[in-house]
Amino acid sequence: MDVGSHQGPQRRLFALRGAVQAEENSREAILSATEELMRTMIERNSLEADEMVSCIFTTTADLDAEFPAVAARQLGLDDVPLLCTREIPVPGSMERVIRVMLHFYAAADAKPVHVYVGATQALRADLNAAQ
């Protein structure tokens, strides 16, 4: 993609953050929570798959029944590079959390809407007043 093209509006690369808490450590709960998070991020930011550059998922150590990336593939993000990794196990931190950082191109003046679903809103209370 030629981001400096004179044929359309100026575009730039953004990084979008989000998180959700799975109900339990099961394949179904991880896929359901990740799907809800990704659908909400895509909807609130009017994203198309071809605008997405990459997506990094992290999970807390207590989630190992499935890769969150499976849910993204099921949503049709087949051409977006996806990576799953572990979150740092900080004592006392929220359990069963799936986090995501999604990189995408949009108009240079776009205002990304970060998405923290349910209990994870407490992770970034500074962002959630607008949700």
* Domains, in order of start, for the chain: 12-123 (3.30.1330.40)
pLDDT digit string (tens) for 72-112?
999 999 999 999 999 999 999 999 999 999 999 999 999 99
Calculate the alpha carbon distances from 105 to 1, 10, 13, 28, 123 in Å: 9, 10, 5, 31, 26
Both tokens of 41, joined, read 């991020």
Amino acid letter, 128 = N
- pLDDT at residue number 119: 86
pLDDT digit string (tens) for 39-80?
999 999 999 999 999 999 999 999 999 999 999 999 999 999
- pLDDT at residue number 61: 96
